[in-house]
Amino acid sequence: MSHWARNVTNSRVPRIKICGVTSLGDARMAVDAGADALGLNYATSVRQVSSDVAYDIVAHYDDLVWCVGVFRRQEDREIISVVERDRLRAVQLHDPASDALLDALASRRVKIIRSLSTHSPALTERERAHVVAVIVDGAQPGSGVANDWVTVASLHFEVPMLVAGGLNADNVEDVIRQTHPWGVDVASGVESAHGVKDADRVASFVTRARVALALKEKGPQ
C-alpha cells in the first residue's frame, strides 16, 4: 500500500531530498542532478552548514527546490531565529514540536517535515494538524546504517512519507519497491567525505530513485 496524503497536495512535497548540503557548489550539483529538496543541517554534526553558506543556498535555490532547515535538539527560539535570518520556508524537526513552535512556524507559513524513527513513529495530535510530510529515518540519522525496511513498510501516515537510513544508488530501487514511500532522503550515501557530495553518486542516486518512484506511483496526484 502506498503512503498517500489526504490533507496536503502531494505534488508540492519533494520526492528526492539530498541532505547535509554544506556548500553552494554541492547545492548546485544536487539541483542540476534533479533533486527537488536540499537539507541544510543547522544542528551540531559533521554536516553542519555555516549560516553564510545556508543563506546563500536559500537565496540561490529556494525558488527551484525546497531548502529545508534541519534541526535537532535545538530550542524553539533558536529555530525561529534561524528561520527568519535565512528566510527558510521549510524545516525538518527531529524532536517533538511544542505548540508554541508549531504556531510560530504556521504564522510564518513555514512548511514542517517531521523526522521520525521506527522506534518512535508517531506524531502528536497538534503535529498532525501542521506537518506536511514525515521522514522515517534509522536510529542514527546520517550514520549510513541501514534502516529496518520491513518495519518502515508497515507504517502508514496521513501525509507523504519519505524514507531514509543507509540509502545509496545501489539499494534505493529495492528500498522503494519494498517500502512504497512518497520519496527518499539521503546524506552519507552520496558523499565522498563527511559533508562533501560526490557528483557521480548524486546523479546516479537521483536517476535511479526517480525511475523507481515513477514505477511505484499508483495514487492520485
What pLDDT does 8 receive?
Answer: 38
Band (pLDDT 50/70/90 cuts) for residue 221 is: very low
Q: What is the DSSP string of 107-171?
A: HTT-EEEEEEETTB----HHHHHHEEEEEEE-SSTTS-PPP-HHHHHT---SS-EEE-SS--TTT
pLDDT digits (tens, 9 = 90+) for 168-188: 999 999 999 999 999 999 999
Q: For the chain, which domains are there?
A: 10-216 (3.20.20.70)
Q: Is the pLDDT of residue 39 over 50?
A: yes
pTM: 0.92
- Round the average pLDDT of the chain to a whole number and report it: 91
| Cell numbers for 103 | 504556531
pLDDT at residue 142, rounded to an integer:
61
Q: Which pLDDT band, with edges at 50, 70 and 90, does 7 fall under?
A: very low
DSSP 195: T
* Highest mean predicted confidence (pLDDT) among 5-19, 57-71, 206-220: 57-71
Q: How many CA atoms lie within 13 A of 152 on its CB side?
A: 28
- The lowest-confidence range among 11-15, 130-134, 199-203 is 11-15
